[in-house]
Structure 1
């Protein structure tokens, strides 16, 4: 017997598949709850939960008094589409594998002012990690991460240095939200070599500070993303 708490997730995935293959058109309303319940042989409550999940994922949008519509999507990988996820979790959400090549790993107190300000540290040791990240075999981003030493065991970090940093942090601290600033830059010789793009090609430089629920800074991340492969999704709803 299926776990009833997962049925609406399965239905949401099936609806999303029909959106992707064109069975449900972006120019038309989504079928009614009654019709969807009949189509998938589930209750209208299950359909309602599935639709709510797809709205949270910015796949559907509900217009009061008019119905539910499919939002226009992009072919690029969209950071933020499914909330605050690690790079590893984002890859999994797109059906991709992730891997990392280590460029730099050190524990240091010699920090740029930008890092000190965002992590609210002065002389405290901080882990500095620089990695090249891949979706499958495609280089996607060079990330430079600074993490407070108190949040990670050094031996454990070294052992898992190319894996999910979020997963390691969450063994000691909750992760609640991030603030991001995004700017456009051009690929230098070094960046073009790592990311397999031409020198001068536009990249996205993202400065991210990640916080615990209590508002304490956990991690500062300065990453370069391929502009031809990656985008940051922020849906603005008119109220």
Structure 2
């Protein structure tokens, strides 16, 4: 745990243990830095994180105050989570069936997203994701062959694609650009999730994932049953 993250944790524990109550002003920056034996820059970084999480209010020239934290919200779009993680956080058991894993020719759309040549070779992974035995997601994942090589031939893939890429290809997914779309009813993947429940609404989450060097490494299409998945974003007034 980094220095400022450790101080953040310590401050959180002190707030939870009622060392300071809601509405109460924290000691000065100098006093806190001295108490934790850290630089004021480290302390400021910790306080900044708590301010961003809505646990502290910093009033410049006045002081830092403990405030009532906002309630947590599920599936926040600001946080990049795998589909499997979202299923598990809902208290459900995840399983999947693989529809295909193999090499295909890169389309124009995929090439533009992944910043590679149209017609080049990509790895395509399609699978159905289940929650407590019921199909809730159809996922299509596209990755440049030059990045993942023969990883899917060398190792048996199951579970989290993020973890597989990290363990097998040393690719760490750090961030993603996400678009939520309502797919047309005639989309064949929508039908795969509806079966006999034709009124079940389906959302399409299109995501371009980047690694820590901001390389485009994964283009995903996740069809999600919206009676199972709900997404939230907390908006701040500037």
* Structure 1 length-normalised TM: 0.64
Report the Cα distance in structure 2 between the residues aligned to 1:15 and 1:88, rounded to whole angstroms. 33
Cα distance 1:189–1:133, how it changes in 2: closer, same or farther (>3 A)? Answer: closer
Gaps of 5+ in 2: 17-21, 28-35, 39-43
The residue aligned with 1:142 is 138
The residue aligned with 1:123 is 119
Preserved contact between residue 180 and residue 206 of structure 1 (Cα < 8 Å): yes
Report the Cα distance in structure 2 between the residues aligned to 1:152 and 1:77, rounded to whole angstroms. 29
Report the Cα distance in structure 1 between the residues aligned to 2:82 and 2:11, rounded to whole angstroms. 25
Cα distance 1:202–1:124, how it changes in 2: closer, same or farther (>3 A)? Answer: same
The residue aligned with 2:173 is 175
Deviation of 1:146 (Å): 0.5
* SS of aligned partner of 2:227: coil
* SS of aligned partner of 1:173: coil
Greater shift in the superposed pair: 184-193 or 4-13: 4-13
The residue aligned with 2:31 is none
Which structure has the greater CA radius of gyration?
2
Residue 182 of structure 2: which of 181, 184, 195 is its match? 184
Preserved contact between residue 175 and residue 210 of structure 1 (Cα < 8 Å): yes
Preserved contact between residue 178 and residue 210 of structure 1 (Cα < 8 Å): yes
Report the Cα distance in structure 2 between the residues aligned to 1:198 and 1:64, rounded to whole angstroms. 53
Q: What is the RMSD computed on CA atoms of the aligned residues?
A: 4.4
Preserved contact between residue 75 and residue 232 of structure 2 (Cα < 8 Å): no
Report the Cα distance in structure 2 between the residues aligned to 1:225 and 1:12, rounded to whole angstroms. 35
Report the Cα distance in structure 1 between the residues aligned to 2:199 and 2:59, rounded to whole angstroms. 46
Deviation of 1:63 (Å): 6.9
Cα distance 1:156–1:103, how it changes in 2: closer, same or farther (>3 A)? Answer: closer
Deviation of 1:130 (Å): 1.2
Report the Cα distance in structure 1 between the residues aligned to 2:47 and 2:95, rounded to whole angstroms. 35
The residue aligned with 2:32 is none
Gaps of 5+ in 1: 17-28, 35-42
Preserved contact between residue 124 and residue 141 of structure 2 (Cα < 8 Å): yes
Number of residue equivalences = 213
Preserved contact between residue 206 and residue 220 of structure 2 (Cα < 8 Å): yes
Report the Cα distance in structure 2 between the residues aligned to 1:135 and 1:208, rounded to whole angstroms. 21
Deviation of 1:145 (Å): 0.5
Preserved contact between residue 157 and residue 164 of structure 2 (Cα < 8 Å): no
Cα distance 1:233–1:9, how it changes in 2: closer, same or farther (>3 A)? Answer: farther
Deviations along 1:118-173, one digit per CA (max 9) or x if unpaired, are: 12232322111112224555644221101112332535567442222112323433
The residue aligned with 2:82 is 86
The residue aligned with 1:154 is 150
Preserved contact between residue 202 and residue 227 of structure 1 (Cα < 8 Å): yes
Deviation of 1:221 (Å): 0.1
